[in-house]
Amino acid sequence: MSQLIGFSKPPSRRRFLTAAVVSGAALAGAGLLGGCAPSASAGDRTRVQLWHLFTGGDGGVFQAMMDTVGKQNPQLEIDPVVLTWGGPYYTKLAMSSVGGRSPDLAVMHATRVIGYAPGGLLDTWDLNRLAEHGITPEMFPGLLWDKCFVDGRLYAIPLDFHAFLLFYNTELCRQAGLLDADGTLSGLESPEGFLDAGRRLAEVTGGQGMSFGYTGDGAQVSRMFWGLYAQTGAECTLVPDQEVQIDRDAAIEVTSFIKDMFDGTIADPNMDYGGAIGSFSTGRTGITFMGNWEYQSFLAAGVPLDAMPMPNVFGTPATFGDSHVFVLPHQTNVDESRRDAAYEVVAGMLNNSLDWAAGGHIPANTEVTDSAAFGELVPQSHYAQAIEQAAFEPASWFTGSGSDFQARVAEVMQSCWLSNSLTPEQAVDGLIDRLGRMLEQNPPA
Amino acid sequence: MTVNAVNVAASSGSRTARRLGSGLPFVIPFLIVAFLFLIAPIVYGLWLSFTEQSLMGNGGWVGLANYAEALGDATMWATLWHTIAFTLMSTVPLVVLALVMALLVYIGIPGQWFWRLSFFAPYLLPVAVVVQIWTWLFNSDVGFINYWLQQIGLDRVGWLTEVDVAMWSMVILTVWWTVGFNFLLYLSSLQAIPDLLYEAAEVDGAGFWRKLWSVTLPQLRATTVLVATLQVIASLKIFDQMFIAFNGGSGPEGSTRPILQYIYDTGFTNYRMGYASAMSYIFFIVIIVITVAFRFLTRSRKDVDNEL
């Protein structure tokens, strides 16, 4: 019977033990080689552990890029760890860096670097070494590159700019008469024009004109508010232990403008993130403000769409966004060959970031965005100029993507926009108060 | 002979010591685990609450400053109130509904197995699944509930987006999810009531309502105290539902953020471990006070009843 299914004699106990010991020793030996002497022989590869926060469609694209880089650099082995976006990711990254046994390379948001660098959680990038791997400052738009420096030292290498875009349903906008001769959306470049466009769209849809999810979603509120605030040309500077420097009048103007949007016709005063995507995907609204990462979900929904940067409502072109950057989490004992491999991985990812554009992101590498291949990508090439008008959240240790502060901004703004319990003036004063109280606190780093 | 006597005396004298010695090895694993994962963290957390420790180190002794800050922190009081409001709003339906459901099944509506299954099944689902299901149902624009509200001519409700409604939505979700456990506790203690009592009541001419008020409910008192106490403690620890439903945000106008989430946000998002620890200890005291007060209330009522 055992012969029939391919077994000969069961192995004797001695043979079994010998085999176990030999294979165990082989495994241990391989582990030693892999851990201590990565370049001992030509067959060995340097392992780079890379933490990132891309899931869903983005995650697939990022994995494909890592595979490409791995194929182009056979001496590298990228070992990715995917973690959930937001607070939990930054907690884990901070804790691993404090312990000094952090990954070789990590992805984070440019706006969070300022909270990390002063605490010694990040190691700096060496410009000369970057140049050896073909990465030079000229490759990046100035706005983005400057964002990567803290106290004059380079802590981050930008991969992309991910923008808060205006997606529009070309069919509905055409019916509302909002498209000009070459088929692009126009006429939204003033508060009146913007609100009027919303009303005209609402007539076409029979519901609302526009949607973006802002209830219970601090990130969406912050994106819209700080994006439009930057369009007024005003700035907001946050220095610990000092007064908040903010243009109160501009902030009030923006707050009341957004409040005007939520009149039930232009936009629904109750709309969360999922609802905003749902109503745009089903043609109930003709315009939505969303991060470019949602491009794929709209595409899957099959709505005829195009996209553009945030319309210039208040006079200064500005599109809110953040940038995914590569950082070197602090390590107590740096393995130089692995660190060099990390540089190599970053160079590879930047060179292959045309693929990243497929996910909707605008690559930070201008050699990619200037290429003919990128120009053929629609709608990506229609909003690529957003990178030159990038507006970030005001920089401080407590602000940025995935921060708790975004939720606190949303609370006070929603009190004005949703329940009318605060006037725009009171909401802005509440915002200034919250900013002030955070500035009084000791930065954790 | 003398040698033996000495041996006997020595062994009887050290009997208690030996018994202790032989028991100790069995207790040590528990002691180690309890020390490492319970006592040490509690003491460490208490120490943290007197420092400025952040997740990145950098902590100095600040004495009671964290506690002083917490007592003057409007957000802490607001989130503490959200937690207590949720506890009040959820405990009552979770106890009353469970009782009603158990009575219905016990009285014998047809298809008992079906009701038992459908009342208890949601309890088996993980919280992430429950919240995902309900955020779809609650969606103000494309959600199932609002669709039917509109079909019968009512206005749409912003289940997760209106300040006055969002907390109730969390209560509805939580009741749907967890009422099955209380239902089971009630059902089993209903089945434990001796038939004798009902027979005696019937002989005395008691009808359905009289039996319910004078036999069933008094017999269930111990279960009610147990269910309510467990429920108060569980509701005070509310965190997951809000955190998932609002993507880690704080709900419309911050109206649903419970204190545990504020502690989490402070400690793990803003890295202020010292301050978060201080708030944890304040909340710990609040839980103890509420639980003791609750026990006192229910116990004293029982004593009064016993005297009658």
Task: For residue A422, give the chain B residue with the closest CA.
Answer: B253
Largest CA distance in chain A: 89
Residue B199 above 60 pLDDT? yes
Residue B3 above 50 pLDDT? no
Q: What does DSSP say about strands A76-82 and A105-109: parallel, antiparallel, or unpaired?
A: unpaired
Distance in angstroms (rounded) separating the CA atoms of residues A282 and A300: 11
- Which residues of chain B does A444 touch, with a Cβ-Cβ cutoff of 8 Å? 54-56, 58, 270-272
- Across the range A427-441, mean pLDDT stands at 93
Task: Return the residue in B76, B269, B277 with the most chain A beta carbons within 10 A, the one to mutate for interface testing.
Answer: B269
- Which residues of chain A does B155 touch, with a Cβ-Cβ cutoff of 8 Å? none
- Between A and B, how many residue pairs show a Cβ–Cβ distance under 8 A? 126
Banded model confidence at residue A441, pLDDT cuts 50, 70, 90: confident
pLDDT reported for residue B59: 78
Tens digits of per-residue pLDDT, B173-186? Answer: 999 999 999 999 99
Does A445 contact B266 at a Cβ distance shorter than 8 Å? no
Task: For residue B132, give the chain A residue with the closest CA.
Answer: A274
CB burial of A96-129 (b: ≥16 within 10 Å; e: otherwise) equals bbbeeebbbbbbbbbbbbbbbbbbebbbebeeee
Matching residue, tokens 């060099």: A340
C-alpha dihedral (A69, A72, A77, A83), degrees to nearest 10: 10
CB-nearest to B160 from A95, A216, A398 is: A216
- Which residues of chain A does B253 touch, with a Cβ-Cβ cutoff of 8 Å? 411, 414-415, 418-419, 421
Closest Cα of chain B to A89: distance in Å?
A: 9
Residue B109 above 60 pLDDT? yes
Does A444 contact B251 at a Cβ distance shorter than 8 Å? no
Does B253 contact A414 at a Cβ distance shorter than 8 Å? yes
Closest Cα of chain B to A217: distance in Å?
A: 6
CB-nearest to A444 from B55, B247, B254 is: B55
Does B268 contact A88 at a Cβ distance shorter than 8 Å? yes
Residue B132 above 60 pLDDT? yes
- Across the range A230-234, mean pLDDT stands at 97
Q: For A1-15, A87-101, B193-207, which range has the lowest pLDDT when averaged over its residues?
A: A1-15
Task: Return the residue in B58, B76, B141 with the most chain A beta carbons within 10 A, the one to mutate for interface testing.
Answer: B141
Tens digits of per-residue pLDDT, A157-169? Answer: 999 999 999 999 9
Interface predicted TM-score (ipTM) over 0.85: no
- Across the range A275-286, mean pLDDT stands at 92
Tens digits of per-residue pLDDT, B166-175? Answer: 999 999 999 9
Does B142 contact A88 at a Cβ distance shorter than 8 Å? no
Does A275 contact B266 at a Cβ distance shorter than 8 Å? no
- Name the more confident of A353 and B22: A353
Give chain A as a 3 state SS string.
Answer: CCCCCCCCCCCCHHHHHHHHHHHHHHHHHHHHHHHHCCCCCCCCCEEEEEEECCCHHHHHHHHHHHHHHHHHCCCEEEEEEECCCCHHHHHHHHHHHHCCECCCEEEEEHHHHHHHHHHCCEECCCHHHHHHCCCCHHHCCHHHHHCCEECCEECCEECEEEEEEEEEEHHHHHHCCCECCCCCECCCCCHHHHHHHHHHHHHHHCCCCEECCCCCCHHHHHHHHHHHHHHCCCCEECCCCCCCEECHHHHHHHHHHHHHHCCCCCECCCCCHHHHHHHHHCCCCCEEEEEHHHHHHHHHHCCCEEEECCCCCCCCCCEEEECEEEEEECECCCCHHHHHHHHHHHHHHHHCCHHHHCCCCEECCHHHHCCHHHHCCCCHHHHHHHHHHEECCCCCCCCCCCCHHHHHHHHHHHHHHCCCCCCHHHHHHHHHHHHHHHHHCCCCC
Does B161 contact A270 at a Cβ distance shorter than 8 Å? yes
Closest Cα of chain B to A275: distance in Å?
A: 6
Residue A240 above 60 pLDDT? yes
Task: For residue A208, give the chain B residue with the closest CA.
Answer: B141
Tens digits of per-residue pLDDT, A142-155? Answer: 999 999 999 999 99
Banded model confidence at residue A27, pLDDT cuts 50, 70, 90: very low
Closest Cα of chain A to B135: distance in Å?
A: 9
- Which residues of chain A does B136 touch, with a Cβ-Cβ cutoff of 8 Å? 274
Task: For residue B166, give the chain A residue with the closest CA.
Answer: A216
pLDDT reported for residue A2: 38
Does A279 contact B54 at a Cβ distance shorter than 8 Å? no
CB-nearest to B58 from A275, A278, A444 is: A444
Does B158 contact A215 at a Cβ distance shorter than 8 Å? yes
pLDDT reported for residue B303: 55
Does A270 contact B265 at a Cβ distance shorter than 8 Å? no
Residue A21 above 60 pLDDT? no
Tens digits of per-residue pLDDT, A173-226? Answer: 999 999 999 999 999 999 999 999 999 999 999 989 999 988 878 899 999 999
CB-nearest to A216 from B52, B246, B269 is: B246
Residue A368 above 70 pLDDT? yes
Banded model confidence at residue B17, pLDDT cuts 50, 70, 90: low
Tens digits of per-residue pLDDT, A120-140? Answer: 889 999 999 999 999 999 999
Could you tell me what percent of chain A has a pLDDT over 70? 90
Does B249 contact A120 at a Cβ distance shorter than 8 Å? no
pLDDT reported for residue A40: 41
Q: For A12-16, B20-24, B189-193, B285-289, which range has the lowest pLDDT when averaged over its residues?
A: A12-16
Does B253 contact A415 at a Cβ distance shorter than 8 Å? yes
CB A270 within 8 A of CB B161: yes
Does B268 contact A268 at a Cβ distance shorter than 8 Å? no
Closest Cα of chain A to B49: distance in Å?
A: 15
